[in-house]
Amino acid sequence: MKISDLTDNTGEWLRGTGPQSDIVISSRIRLARNVARFPFLSMANVKQKKELEETIRDKIKDADISQDLCYLNLADITPVDRLFLVERHLISRDHAGGEGERGVAFGKSETVSLMVNEEDHLRIQVIRSGFELKEAWKTIDEIDNKLEKRLNYAYSSRFGYLTACPTNVGTGMRASVMLHLPALGMTHHIEKVFNAVMKLGLVVRGLYGEGTQVSGDLYQISNQFTLGKSETEIIEIIESVIPRITSYERMARKSLISESREQLEDRVWRSYGMLKVARLISSEEIMHLLSQVRMGVNLGIINDIEMKTLNELFILTLPGHLQKLEGRELNSTQRNIIRASYVRKRLEK
């Protein structure tokens, strides 16, 4: 499988199915693991990094995680390809921008990805569409079991899985749920959600995680603590708060409809119109427009566009994707032109 095989479609987790998928876009779990007989990456030399990369790559292949798993060495591919993989959520920004021997393995459905030599020797990730953290945990736990038979993980009974950064030590697990919360944003109730979430030791982040700007009303909620609670407990804490947030968002949507139906419909239709006619669309603007239209579809205001198409457009119109699509590097004005024409094409039937 080549990267160009991925450009025509998107990962399974964007298909817009699964529990509460009108608001919960995806559920994701990642595990951080290190191999016992190597230093962590910041203190590893070139030779050790290479040995790690080869060892882990072979063990991943050997573990028979999924039949169609493909492995890419990130040093061998172009910056645009790496950006593309970031936008697909298959690798992190740090992994793309890193240096030295490092790689990623992922399956065709893009549900599973394994980053080699990121901040830790191994980062396993599972993403599912909708609100399905428990299922994601089941899958990732099995993958981890297969790998643990082949790799001697750095582990202590006191501190659990030992990681390069003490913020990940213990379970090494980050569980996160991506939410679309336009109405809470519009009604300025989103801060209340943040407060409630932070009281539970959870954090809120933007679409691409750590330190990124919130856009398109997309938020990721994930655990901060990784030590002192079991994986299941952590998942239960997140699972307990999500239904409260989704029903809060639904309430906000309802009150918007009952109090200012015309304004809301106008906003949604204008955004839809803009997507259909605009000749230049910036990446910030498109997130905003898609967010409005997505809510319009959920509320039944717009009926002639599929949720899957909308979810995909959030990803397919990102800079790396547009450049892959065109097969060349583009500056920001060129991207804005191509983005607009791509969206017009996708929305006309």
Partner 1 sequence: MKCESCNKKHATVHLTEIVGTVKKERHLCEECAQSINTHLTKIPSPTEILTSLINQVAPEINEMSKIVCPVCGLSYLEFRSHGRLGCAMDYTIFRKGLIPLLEKMHSSTQHIGKVPSRAGKELIKKNELMQLRNELNKAVEKEDYERAAELRDKIYEFSGENDED
Cα separation, 322 vs 316, in Å, equals 7
Q: Tell me how far CA of residue 322 lies from CA of 87, 336, 346, in angstroms.
A: 11, 9, 13
99 forms part of the interface with partner 1 (CB under 8 A): no
Of 54 and 233, which CB lies nearer to partner 1 in the complex structure? 233
Residues 273-302 that bind partner 1 (CB under 8 A): 282, 284-285, 287-288
Give the separation between CA 27 and CA 98, rounded to whole angstroms: 26
Buried b (16+ CB within 10 A) or exposed e, 52-61: bbebbbebbe
CB of 13 to partner 1, least distance (A): 23
Q: What is the DSSP letter of 226?
A: -
Report the site for partner 1 in 22-81 (rule: CB under 8 A).
Answer: 34, 36, 38-40, 42-43
Identity of the residue, 15 or 102, whose beta carbon is nearer to partner 1 in the bound complex: 102
Does 118 help bind partner 1 (rule: CB under 8 A)?
no
Q: Work out whether 208 is an interface residue with partner 1 (CB under 8 A).
A: no
CB nearer to partner 1: pick between 6 and 151: 151
The yes or no reply on residue 92 touching partner 1 (CB under 8 A) is: no
Residue 97 within binding range of partner 1, rule CB under 8 A:
no
- What would the two tokens of residue 338 be? 């191509």
Sheet holding 173-180, edge to edge: 70-73, 103-106, 112-116, 122-129, 24-33, 173-180, 218-223, 202-205
Q: Minimum distance from CB of 15 to partner 1 (Å)? A: 26
CB neighbour list of residue 242: distance below 8 Å, 6 or more residues apart: 20, 24, 131, 177, 179, 221
Give the one residue of 5, 58, 233, 326 binding partner 1; rule: CB under 8 A. 233
> Does 122 engage in binding with partner 1 (CB under 8 A)?
no
Residue type, 90: L
Q: How far apart are CA 97 and CA 76, in angstroms?
A: 13
Q: Cβ closer to partner 1: 72 or 318? A: 318
Considering Cα of 296, then 298, then 299, then 301, what sign does the dihedral take?
positive
Whose tokens are 């109730």? That residue is: 189
Which amino acid would we find at residue 343? Answer: V
CB of 17 to partner 1, least distance (A): 27
User: Could you tell me the two tokens for 10?
Assistant: 């998107």
Cβ distance 311 to 25 under 8 Å? yes
Please say which residue, 71 or 225, places its beta carbon nearer to partner 1.
225
203: helix, strand or coil: strand
Task: Identify which of residues 97 and 228 has a Cβ nearer to partner 1 in the complex.
Answer: 228
Q: Which CB atom, from 9 or from 145, has the smaller least distance to partner 1?
A: 145
Q: How many residues sit close enough to partner 1 to count as binding (CB under 8 A)?
A: 65
Site membership for partner 1, residue 313 (CB under 8 A) = no
Region of 3-11, 20-28, 224-232, 294-302 interacting with partner 1 (CB under 8 A)? 224-232
Candidates 24, 173, 175, 338: give the one binding partner 1 (CB under 8 A). 173
DSSP string, 49-96: HHHHHHHHHHHHHHTT--TT-EEEEGGGS-HHHHHHHHHTTSS-HHHH
- Residues making contact with partner 1 (CB under 8 A): 34, 36, 38-40, 42-43, 119, 141, 144-145, 148-149, 152-167, 169-171, 173, 185, 188, 190-191, 194-195, 198, 201, 204-206, 210-215, 217, 224-231, 233, 282, 284-285, 287-288
